[in-house]
Amino acid sequence: MRHIYIIGSKGIPANYGGFETFVEQLTAGRQSEEIVYHVACMDEKAEVVRYNGAECFHLVVPSIGPAKAVYYDLKAIAWCLHDIRKNNIKDAVVYVLACRIGPFIGTWKKRLAACGAKLYVNPDGHEWKRAKWNYLIRKYWKFSEKLMVKHADLLICDSKNIESYIRRSYAKYHPATTYIAYGAAEAKKETAETAAKLDAWYQEHGVKSGGYYLVVGRFVPENNYETMLREFMESRTDKDFVLITNVEHNKFYEKLQAETGFDKDARIKFVGTVYDAALLALIRKNAYGYLHGHEVGGTNPSLLEALGSTDLNLLLDVGFNSEVARDGALYWSKEPGNLGRLLKRADEMKEAERKELGERAKERIRKDYSWPYIIEKYEKLFLEQK
């Protein structure tokens, strides 16, 4: 049996979150009986339970601000080492999602190696670029990333651009890397129940099917909401701009509201969050177009979901996005007026053109990003580990 310990996500079952959804799909879609998963979960009660056939070890973590995630990962890796030693497990893999514990990983790597265990790391995206972090935390993230790369036996990158960055930036460590993308769930068929929910949601927010551009994601500067809002406000489109995001107590939201006055544009509608996956899929499917401004990170889950459901996708032209969508989307830059011109072009597109783009995008998802395909690649990698 091959024992795989996964730490770095908040745990499963998962309703949201990229790493959480990944772990949910990986364990639920397990194809080989030779693999046993052990998953760290952040909880209010310490216990071990089974879910999706995986052993989920729940850990209690105190609320200590930004250091909470670091503490959680260290507590999780300590649990993994204890379990490996206690059960005399050979050839285990400890798979760490994100690069939070770099300053401490050298010591843990030696302890794992002494037990015959390998350390795999998913470097995620450019976390050290995120605007939400202050200068010192960004410096920590970058330093931590360097040490995680240095000590990892293998880095599993979910973006080819990230893999190239790792190899180029840390060439002196000769990092072993491989590429396995994030997955996308297949669009589910509409049911009477979800259709009724959609109608109710439209009525609640004053939105019409096919009459809106959509964006889904965290309301943070690096997702380029400022550019999207300013360009949309300057456009003459008669469609709404629906933003599914949480802006409660968000200083960035308040700042943009004061600077742009977007709240005076009736087309712009902040509608909160939607955690009902089936409902969200229908909202995506029935959007006239999807706007995506993410520029920090690897393969973004919300982009994959949009490509798998929305016909017309307008993406910020950065390597992470074009790598995924290729010719199944249209691209914009942050140059003033660029997105506005693209919105005008999008408004004037014939339905057949939008459908053609949509089919290209969906074929891309079916071919290279379906969860069964991604799970197969992971399991092959885990079972080949020596």
Residue 132 pLDDT more than 80?
no
Give the pLDDT score at 202: 98
- The model's pLDDT over 322-364, given as tens digits with 9 standing for 90+, comes to 999 999 999 999 999 999 999 999 999 999 999 999 999 999 9
Residue 99 — pLDDT band, cuts 50, 70, 90?
Answer: very high
Pick left, alpha or beta for residue 231 (phi over 0 → left; psi -120 to 50 → alpha; otherwise beta). alpha
What does the block give as tokens for 379? Answer: 């399991």
Residue 298 pLDDT more than 90?
no
Q: Percentage of the chain with pLDDT > 70?
A: 99
Give the pLDDT score at 386: 56
Residue 255 pLDDT more than 90?
yes
The stretch 71-97 carries a mean pLDDT of 97
- The mean pLDDT value of the chain amounts to 94
| 128-142, 257-271, 299-313, 350-364: the lowest-pLDDT one | 128-142
Cis ω before 372 (30° cut-off from 0)? no
Question: Could you tell me which of 369, 377, 226 has the C-alpha nearest to residue 301?
Answer: 369
Domains of the chain and any CATH numbers: 2-183+370-384 (3.40.50.2000), 192-368 (3.40.50.2000)
Give the pLDDT score at 385: 65
What does the block give as tokens for 257? Answer: 């509201």
Give the pLDDT score at 225: 97
The stretch 178-203 carries a mean pLDDT of 90
Give the pLDDT score at 189: 79
* Strand residue runs (E) in the chain: 2-7, 35-43, 47-51, 54-60, 93-97, 118-122, 154-157, 177-179, 212-216, 240-244, 268-270, 289-292, 313-316, 330-332
**Terminal-residue alpha carbon distance, the chain:** 12
Residue 127 pLDDT more than 80?
no
In this structure, the strands spanning 268-270 and 240-244 are parallel
φ and ψ at residue 69, rounded to 5 degrees: -65, -35
- The model's pLDDT over 195-253, given as tens digits with 9 standing for 90+, comes to 999 999 999 999 999 999 999 998 999 999 999 999 999 999 999 999 999 998 789 99
